[in-house]
Chain A
């Protein structure tokens, strides 16, 4: 793995429209290391704008952007052969067949992947002579993914790669992303699926209102986002005050419903041992004991709020 970041964005600002001057990206900082980086955010948060600036499609109003050490807007010709781009939709001649378009993109590169093997791998062989406009949404998505990686890039941008895919196709896409990662290809992924980010990403950046509001590994974000919770069942009317005394200072303990108890705090093996020891001392058999971890989705909603976006 290289030490230099694959994407380095500092103080990025992008406004749209001359009159309204809507600020899409507002002083954004994002550093992505080699590996898989997921960019999350509500609709209109500035994800696609940021990614498209990295791909060289748009010129920033201010700030610096380096992708593989290059300025995507000024050094596009040097950068483009080294990156792969999967657009959210489209990008293919409506009258082209899947294999024809993929072979074409392969021809634009010096050392492309074996097209037949890639078609096989992504299940595009069944498209046959069907032209792009008549392919299913899932087939169109997989073709776009194949087009992004066929040139053997160092860095791939995937914009919502599994939107609208069935579970089989989603897992096939995830497997491919894992293989890319293990072969040393870096991936920048935007997604609305928290489980996708949790399962694939080394690093997650959550964007809201044009800024990165938090960045870290999924584990770090889930740990740091909120307190964790331990639940157990026992006979009703246990003395929670006594339990609380046994616990570390910042914990809480309460009977939520008769016989249903909740302990919050930093849930680690020590805390679990403390709770079960207390139960043993009080002749309580803790049933249905469970540790609830906050999911990335909890963290996401907590940080970006629950109101609907554009």
Chain B
């Protein structure tokens, strides 16, 4: 590269859109898998909870094998950890460090960046679900039900948590997002029917907690996978409302800098 050789002669142009989105999704996934705190949240904690609570009788999970109750809840937790907590924290710091700003002046359109983020979340979730399913089977899990209902629940749950995570990342400071996203993760883990059945709570609290997206996702997955229900309309409805509310609020309120 020397002077006047024409090395830098302008030849501008955007890469084809699918290539840009694929490259962005691959980079975001690598960043996530390289981040120790994120892996703790998305892999280590769900795995530990699944193994620990299946093996040791700490919480009364009702009739049947503990793992049949726990596995659906842990799958819901995996979706929560990636689509909400992980995405909120990562996006909050990308905003803070000017990554979103820099990408905004690149040829990648904003919707393309969002599509890439979604693809990265989905790839991570697939990896989580494969890992957790294998472990659950090893622990004696015997799931039932309609796989399409399961898929629908996971997709709507991802949409709901993504909307809420991006809303948080796009409106709060990065440090506040870090603290709040972790706090919400713990509160929803305890109070969202993930490892503690909601019927352990008083009736009034239960009615409110049942409307949380995490409760709708874990109960919906449990209805199908543990009890063999067909389509859990109530839970899908709750998730759809959260998804629409969260994503539209994020679209309206998200600040890029």
User: Chain A interface (Cβ within 8 Å of chain B)?
Assistant: 55-57, 77, 80-83, 85, 87, 89-96, 100, 104-105, 107-111, 113-114, 117-118, 120-121, 147, 149, 151-154, 175, 178-180, 182-185
Contacts and interface: CB of A to CB of B under 8 A. Distances in A.
Given A109-B14, A121-B1, A147 B102 contact: yes
B13 A111 contact: yes
Given A104-B27, A179-B3, A87 B98 contact: yes
Contact of A93 (B31, B107, B108): B31
Given A95-B31, A109-B107, A182-B3, A152 B10 contact: yes
Taking each of A56, A94, A114, A185, which has the highest tally of chain B beta carbons within 10 Å of its own beta carbon?
A94
Given A95-B34, A179-B7, A183-B4, A87 B102 contact: yes
Contacts of A89: 98
B12 A182 contact: no
Which of A55, A108, A114, A120 neighbours the largest number of chain B CB atoms within 10 Å of its CB?
A108
A117 B1 contact: yes
Given A55-B105, A121-B1, A185 B8 contact: yes
A141 to B, nearest CB: 13
17 contacts: A91-B101, A93-B97, A94-B93, A96-B27, A104-B27, A105-B106, A107-B15, A108-B14, A108-B23, A108-B107, A108-B108, A113-B7, A118-B1, A182-B3, A183-B4, A183-B7, A184-B10
A183 B9 contact: yes
Interface in B43-70: none
A153 B12 contact: yes
Nearest to B107: A81
Given A104-B23, A108-B107, A153 B14 contact: no
A109 B108 CA distance: 9
Contact of A81 (B2, B12, B99): B12
B20 interface: yes
Contacts of B23: 104, 107-108
A94 B14 CA distance: 25
Contacts of B98: 87, 89-91
Nearest to B256: A57
Contact of B109 (A77, A91, A105, A154): A77
A222 to B, nearest CB: 26
Contact of A85 (B27, B105, B109): B105
Interface string B11-51: 11111100110011001001100110000000000000000
B99 A91 contact: yes
B172 to A, nearest CB: 18
A152 B27 contact: no
Contacts of A113: 7-8
